[in-house]
Amino acid sequence: MIVDIEKEKEGKDENLLANLCECYVSLSILIQFELAPICVPCLLKVALKKEESEETQTEVELALLALTCFDHFELDKELYLKEVIEIIQYHREHRNLTYLAHHSAWKFLIDRISFQSSSESKIVSEHHFARDAGRELDELSKHIDWKKKEEEEEGERETKDEIVLMEWLRTSSSFFATCGFLTDEFFGLLSSAVGVFRLAYDCNKEINDRCMYLFKEAALNMHVKAEDLIESGAVDVVLEKIIQLDTTNELLTYYLLFFKRLSKRLNEALVGDIHEANRRALQKKIFEKLEEEGYEDCIIGLSLCMIQDTFYEDYFIRKLARLLVLL
pLDDT (0 to 100) of residue 307: 37
Establish if 69 belongs to a structural domain.
Answer: yes
Other C-beta atoms lying within 10 Å of the C-beta of residue 33: 10
Q: CA 154, CA 115: separation in Å to the nearest integer?
A: 39
Establish if 139 belongs to a structural domain.
Answer: no
Segment 213-253, tens digit of pLDDT: 999 999 888 888 888 888 899 988 887 777 676 656 667 77
- CA 132 to each of CA 49, 91, 228: distance values in angstroms, whole numbers, following the listed order: 21, 11, 18
Q: CA 237, CA 234: separation in Å to the nearest integer?
A: 5
pLDDT at 90 over 90: yes
Rounded (10°) CA dihedral 130, 140, 112, 214: 70
- CA 312 to each of CA 136, 238, 249, 315, 317: distance values in angstroms, whole numbers, following the listed order: 39, 21, 11, 5, 9
Establish if 121 belongs to a structural domain.
Answer: no
CA-based nearest residue to 135, from 91, 174, 206, 193: 193
Q: What proportion of the chain, given as a percentage, has pLDDT over 90?
A: 46
pLDDT (0 to 100) of residue 279: 62
Establish if 6 belongs to a structural domain.
Answer: yes
Q: CA 269, CA 262: separation in Å to the nearest integer?
A: 12
Segment 14-53, tens digit of pLDDT: 999 999 999 999 998 889 999 999 999 999 999 999 988 9
Q: If you average pLDDT over residues 298-327, what whole number do you get?
A: 46
Establish if 293 belongs to a structural domain.
Answer: no
Q: What proportion of the chain, given as a percentage, has pLDDT over 70?
A: 73
Which domain covers residue 65, as residue numbers?
A: 1-116
pLDDT at 89 over 50: yes
Segment 163-199, tens digit of pLDDT: 999 999 999 999 998 888 878 899 999 999 999 999 9
Based on its alpha-carbon atoms, the radius of gyration of the chain, rounded to whole angstroms, reads 23
Q: What is the DSSP string of 32-65?
A: -GGGHHHHHHHHHHHHT----SHHHHHHHHHHHH
Establish if 109 belongs to a structural domain.
Answer: yes
Establish if 20 belongs to a structural domain.
Answer: yes
Q: CA 6, CA 13: separation in Å to the nearest integer?
A: 9
Domain count, the chain: 1
Segment 99-140, tens digit of pLDDT: 999 999 999 999 887 655 555 667 777 789 999 999 999 999
Segment 267-292, tens digit of pLDDT: 654 444 556 666 667 666 666 665 66
Establish if 179 belongs to a structural domain.
Answer: no
E strand or H helix that includes residue 143: helix 129-143
Q: Can you tell me whether residue 220 is helix, strand or coil?
A: helix
